[in-house]
Amino acid sequence: MSDMNPTADAPRSPGRPRSVRADEAIVEATLDLLAEGSTIEALSIEAIAARAGVGKATIYRRWPGKDALLLDALRRLKGVVPQPAGHSVRDDLVLLVGAVGHNIDPRAERIMPCLVPEVNRSPDHFQLYQNIIEPRRKIMREVLRRGVATGELRADLDIEVAMALLTGPMLVQRLLRWHPELDDRLLPERVVDGVLDGLRTR
Amino acid sequence: MSDMNPTADAPRSPGRPRSVRADEAIVEATLDLLAEGSTIEALSIEAIAARAGVGKATIYRRWPGKDALLLDALRRLKGVVPQPAGHSVRDDLVLLVGAVGHNIDPRAERIMPCLVPEVNRSPDHFQLYQNIIEPRRKIMREVLRRGVATGELRADLDIEVAMALLTGPMLVQRLLRWHPELDDRLLPERVVDGVLDGLRTR
DNA sequence: CCGATACGAACCGGTGCCGTATCGAAACAT
DNA sequence: ATGTTTCGATACGGCACCGGTTCGTATCGG
């Protein structure tokens, strides 16, 4: 958000006001193009402008360059962090695990995989990614701790490893289509139950 | 391999023989560039030639285009499929899980993440990816089935879900640097033990 | 030594993008 | 009405790169 100040202190600049419509259209076009498979590096201001039905100048008037625009657009994609009910640890985990890699915006599902390489390359993108997922991880961490406190989960549980165990399978499935046959809707339950109970004969 | 026939039946073609050195240099350059973060689509014959210290014609003489070259290069990257000892199911799993996303060539670790978007987009690349990992999955599947047969693992085990549980955490860690603090060397053991025993208090 | 082939470098035509400038029209404040 | 700013559109120069081919040279077998 370079210089967007729609309210308050603005000294009521003269002239024609910026079109909110254009604002929205630009961000939407960016996300659409990403969702359609464009690489971050392949994404061009020109393509965005064309897709948004907007002059390039309109974009440059708002953002200094591709990176700034991208940051804004991805931020808007984040979605809402799910709030577990807090009754059953198992049910809370099913909810959270089901939310892994499953943002509200359906485009996110197509976009996130494309960000993987960037995340590995650019510290900035890595940071952005971490900022997006950290709140969700925090919630899961708290649920796990609660489980340990109530005795539902092993006392010697390594929280970080446990989170990897829970989120890993879902992410791999949704990011890489690991097993095309696996049912996405049932998977969260099966993952949570599998990890909680273990594979070994008891 | 379009037309490489270094031995045997060759009718001893006249003229200057192809430089094995160039052959190697081209493939190496391709893998290097990928490992350095280049996208598949961003990878150009020109860049490869430059990096290999080779004329573009030398490349076109061997491969019809980028795709064919890439296929060859990635194939050469695959590495060896690990062979479990077959004594303890747990130890076998540790070995296999440790091998997930961990090819012999250290560049593979950098390259694989960059392929994620392509794998999601192009059916061809998806197929190539599946061809590479399927042999490994098959081995793990067999180990799991053996565990069920010997009674070490639950009789009602869903093999596919179990594989997702085991490989998911490792892949996420190695693909996305999920938890930068987690020790890569210890992780396989902890994942296998965690999944086998479960998180619940027994 | 000769013909044949491969070699690296250089070349060519084409594409796409960036960032800016300009235009007539539109939308606001005064 | 007037001045200011933004609008979408279009054009521009400049640049970078890319795919494929050509070219003179190097290296082989015979």
CATH number of the domain enclosing B38: 1.10.357.10
Q: Are A72 and A1 in contact (CB under 8 A)?
A: yes
Does residue A54 share a domain with residue A27?
yes
Does residue B107 share a domain with residue B71?
no
Whether residue B6 is predicted with pLDDT greater than 80 in this model: the reply is no
**Which domain, by its residues, includes B98?**
80-197
Q: Does A8 reside within a domain?
A: no
User: What residue type is assigned to position A86 of the chain?
Assistant: G
Q: Measure the CA–CA gap between B109 and B34, rounded to whole angstroms.
A: 11
Whether residue B148 is predicted with pLDDT greater than 70 in this model: the reply is yes
Work out the percent of chain B whose per-residue pLDDT is above 90: 52
DSSP class of residue A200?
A: B
B149 touches chain A (CB under 8 A): no
Give the pLDDT confidence of B84-117 residue by residue, as tens digits. 999 999 999 999 999 887 777 888 878 887 787 7
Give the pLDDT confidence of A31-80 residue by residue, as tens digits. 999 999 888 888 999 999 999 999 999 999 999 999 899 988 988 887 77
A35 touches chain B (CB under 8 A): no
Mean pLDDT of B192-199: 95
Question: Which tokens belong to A53?
Answer: 């039905």
Q: Are A171 and A101 in contact (CB under 8 A)?
A: yes
Q: Please tell me which of the candidates B121, B172, B182 has its beta carbon nearest to residue A172.
A: B172
Backbone angles phi, psi at A131, to 5 degrees: -60, -35
At residue B120's C-alpha, the angle toward residues A47 and A192, to 5°, is 125
- Given an 8 Å threshold on Cβ–Cβ distance, is A161 in contact with B170? no
Q: Does B129 reside within a domain?
A: yes
Greater pLDDT, A8 or B24 = B24
Question: What is the per-residue pLDDT for B74?
Answer: 86
Which domain-ending residue is among B76, B95, B118?
Answer: B76
Q: Please tell me which of the candidates B117, B172, B202 has its beta carbon nearest to residue A117.
A: B117
- Given an 8 Å threshold on Cβ–Cβ distance, is B199 in contact with A167? no
Question: Which tokens belong to B194?
Answer: 């965690």
Q: How many domains does chain B have?
A: 2
Decide: CB of A47 under 7 A of nucleic strand D: no
Q: Which are the contacts of B86, defined by CB distance < 8 A and separation ≥ 6?
A: B92, B146
Closest CA to B164 of A183, A99, A134: A183
Question: What is the per-residue pLDDT for A131?
Answer: 82
Q: A6-39 burial string, b = 16+ CB within 10 Å, else e? A: eeeeeeeeeeeeeeeebbebbbbbbbbbbbebbb
Question: What is the per-residue pLDDT for B12?
Answer: 56
B197 touches chain A (CB under 8 A): yes
Residue with token string 């992410």: A171
Residue A164 with chain B: CB contacts under 8 Å: 169, 172-173, 178-179, 182, 187, 191
Confidence of residue B5 (pLDDT cuts 50, 70, 90): very low
Q: Measure the CA–CA gap between B188 and B97, rounded to whole angstroms.
A: 6
Greater pLDDT, B70 or B127 = B70
Q: Does A102 reside within a domain?
A: yes
Q: Measure the CA–CA gap between B167 and A46, rounded to whole angstroms.
A: 41
Q: Measure the CA–CA gap between B83 and B86, rounded to whole angstroms.
A: 9
Does residue A87 share a domain with residue A44?
no
The alpha carbon of residue B200 is apart from the nearest alpha carbon of chain A, in Å, by: 4
Does residue B148 share a domain with residue B85?
yes
What is the block-wise mean pLDDT of chain A (202 residues), using blocks of 10 residues? 41 81 96 90 95 97 94 82 92 94 80 80 79 89 96 95 95 82 90 95 79
Mean pLDDT of B129-154: 92
Question: What is the per-residue pLDDT for A127?
Answer: 81
